[in-house]
């Protein structure tokens, strides 16, 4: 009897090849679970609602290191106690009674929230050259001179920076309330450097420089508190983003962002830290392209990049789905997976070592109050079709073995022309290697293993093996 072992799942979700030709160890589905630093599959934690409508009377969601903020329109609303260790909820009063005032972005400056907003009629596209009234800015609840200077902001080098149209604006040094007066304020017209930078969308810190995005290019600038010292450094053409909140520093200085073709990484190509674009998201490119083609542009543009504080995973948060990158360079793990939530996501932030999500007037925390809550989220793991490195030989499949914790149902498919048809092998609550392997009867050249979890407890899938006999020669 021969057998084929999948030792780990370090490659994660990979849809670049068909299930018939994808290599063993990759996964054609990994839903509501992620790969840990040991290459094992771990069920994700629960998204738990805190109270009921606890954000009623507020808009937006922002955070500092340990304080979670929602905002009121010129009214005083008393926030409830969250009950989550390390996080306090605060409702900050914004001096506007407009019912159409909405948060577009935020960042922290000196431990306080700098808030960029839009104020246009519901359903109206954001103006590309907004008036001050259409694009108000607030710092610690006070209106600033940054109004009209951009919907998306980033703190760097003792200033707040913002992009709108073809301009990069920046506040005065050490005072984000001042954009028209004060030391060091000003702007740069980036279209003078490159014609593809006519419509700027986002910005992020890249090592000691500022990366400024349009949908078709990225410019790198060395910026300084003294505007006369600002200097153009590099242009990356043919890549960019239309999703302003999808850009995020990651790892040792790389910047991940959402391009129309997939999730990309801007990383150093040599010791000079000159930037190059890598295809870290290529295993899920077909899934991102599916999002582009089956949703409107607004769905794509509202994506939010997050870093999971405890484990360091990168999350690309869409309204109805989350793509998660488990990247652990030491054990050589680069694994994508997909999370579903069961509720639409309006805003997402990290605070106090936890991840929070706003959906309407509801507030959710990942992992629950304890940080270790699980639910019946519907974990699904699907391997490609294994062939024992003999795809032209038929085989008699006799058993599978698996190393697990928790409860898993195992299923198998032999028909690669009908990949959604499968048969149950059984439900397992412990590893099977010590004489408890799962017997099955199957005939064919290939076999695909599938595993699901449908209870409210933690679960881990470490490795699997297929036992078989080769029963004919290649014709």
Fold assignment, 2-43+379-470: Jelly Rolls (2.60.120)
Location of each CATH 2.60.120 domain in the chain: 2-43+379-470
CB atoms closer than 10 angstroms to residue 142: 12
The secondary structure of 328-340 as a DSSP string is ETTTTEEEEEEE-
C-alpha dihedral over 44, 50, 52, 55, to 10 degrees? -110
At 244, give phi and psi (nearest 5°): -60, -35
Mean pLDDT, rounded, of the chain: 95
Query: Can you give the C-alpha Rg of the chain in angstroms?
Result: 25
CA pair distance 383, 290, nearest whole angstrom:
21
Residue 84 is predicted with a pLDDT of 96
Q: Where are the beta strands (DSSP E) in 147-299?
A: 152-156, 159-164, 167-170, 186-189, 200-206, 209-214, 217-222, 231-237, 248-250, 254-259, 262-268, 275-278
Residue 268 is predicted with a pLDDT of 84
Binned at pLDDT 50, 70 and 90, residue 438 comes out as: confident
pLDDT(201) > 60: yes
Give, in words, the CATH class of 47-366.
mainly beta
Span 123-149, mean pLDDT? Answer: 96
Report pLDDT digits (tens) over 251-309: 878 999 999 999 999 988 776 778 888 889 999 999 999 998 999 999 999 999 999 99
Location of each CATH 2.130.10.10 domain in the chain: 47-366
Binned at pLDDT 50, 70 and 90, residue 475 comes out as: very low
Residue 435 is predicted with a pLDDT of 73
Q: Where are the beta strands (DSSP E) in 318-416?
A: 322-328, 333-339, 347-351, 354-359, 362-366, 379-386, 395-405, 408-413
Decide which of 1 and 413 is more confident: 413
Residue 104 is predicted with a pLDDT of 98
Span 413-435, mean pLDDT? Answer: 93
CA pair distance 463, 9, nearest whole angstrom:
8
Mapping DSSP onto H, E and C, the string for 192-232 reads HCCHHHCCEEEEEEECCEEEEEECCEEEEEECCCCHHHCEE
Of 148, 259, 261, nearest in space to 214 by CA: 259
pLDDT(358) > 50: yes
CA pair distance 84, 51, nearest whole angstrom:
12
Percent of the chain with pLDDT over 70: 99
Residue 275 is predicted with a pLDDT of 86
Q: Look at strands 248-250 and 231-237 and give their pairing.
A: unpaired
CA pair distance 323, 315, nearest whole angstrom:
6
Binned at pLDDT 50, 70 and 90, residue 121 comes out as: very high
Span 460-464, mean pLDDT? Answer: 97
Residue 473 is predicted with a pLDDT of 61
């Amino acid at each position: 009897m021969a057998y084929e072992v999948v030792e780990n799942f370090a490659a994660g979700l990979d849809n670049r090849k068909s299930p018939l030709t994808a290599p063993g160890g990759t996964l054609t589905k990994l839903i509501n679970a992620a790969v840990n630093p040991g290459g094992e599959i771990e069920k994700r934690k629960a998204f738990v609602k805190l109270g009921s409508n606890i954000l009623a009377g507020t808009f937006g969601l922002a955070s500092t290191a340990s304080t979670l903020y929602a905002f009121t329109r010129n009214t005083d609303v008393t926030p409830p106690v969250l009950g989550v260790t390390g996080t306090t909820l605060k409702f900050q009063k914004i001096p506007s009674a407009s019912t159409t005032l909405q948060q577009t972005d935020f960042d922290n400056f000196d431990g306080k929230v700098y808030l960029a907003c839009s104020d246009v009629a519901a359903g109206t596209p954001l103006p590309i050259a907004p008036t001050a009234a259409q694009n108000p800015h607030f710092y610690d609840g006070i209106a600033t001179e940054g109004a009209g200077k951009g919907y998306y902001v980033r703190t760097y080098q003792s200033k707040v920076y913002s992009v709108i149209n073809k301009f990069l604006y920046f506040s005065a040094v050490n005072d984000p309330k001042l954009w028209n007066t004060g030391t060091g304020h000003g702007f740069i017209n980036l279209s003078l450097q490159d014609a593809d930078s006519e419509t700027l969308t986002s910005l992020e810190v890249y090592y000691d420089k500022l990366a400024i995005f349009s949908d078709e290019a990225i410019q790198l600038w060395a910026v300084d508190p003294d505007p006369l010292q600002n200097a153009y450094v590099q242009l990356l053409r043919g890549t960019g983003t239309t999703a302003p909140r999808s850009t995020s520093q990651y790892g040792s200085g790389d910047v991940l962002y959402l391009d129309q073709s997939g999730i990309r990484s801007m990383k150093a190509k040599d010791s000079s830290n000159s930037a190059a674009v890598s295809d870290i998201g290529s295993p899920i490119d077909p899934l991102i392209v599916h999002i582009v083609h089956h949703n409107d542009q607004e769905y794509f543009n509202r994506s939010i990049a997050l870093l999971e504080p405890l484990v360091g995973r990168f999350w690309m948060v869409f309204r109805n789905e989350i793509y998660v990158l488990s990247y652990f360079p030491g054990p050589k793990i680069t694994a994508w997976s997909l999370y579903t939530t069961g509720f639409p996501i309006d805003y997402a932030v990290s605070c106090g070592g936890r991840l929070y999500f706003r959906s309407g007037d509801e507030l959710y925390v990942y992992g629950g109050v304890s940080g270790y809550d699980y639910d019946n989220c519907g974990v699904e793991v699907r391997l490609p079709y294994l062939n024992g490195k003999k795809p032209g030989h038929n085989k008699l499949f006799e058993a599978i073995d698996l190393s697990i914790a928790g409860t898993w149902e195992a299923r198998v498919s032999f028909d690669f022309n009908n990949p959604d048809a499968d048969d149950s092998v059984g439900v397992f609550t412990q590893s099977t290697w010590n004489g408890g392997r799962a017997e099955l009867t199957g005939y064919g050249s290939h076999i695909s293993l599938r595993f699901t979890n449908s209870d409210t407890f933690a679960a881990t899938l470490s490795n699997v093996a297929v036992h078989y006999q080769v029963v004919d020669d290649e014709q």
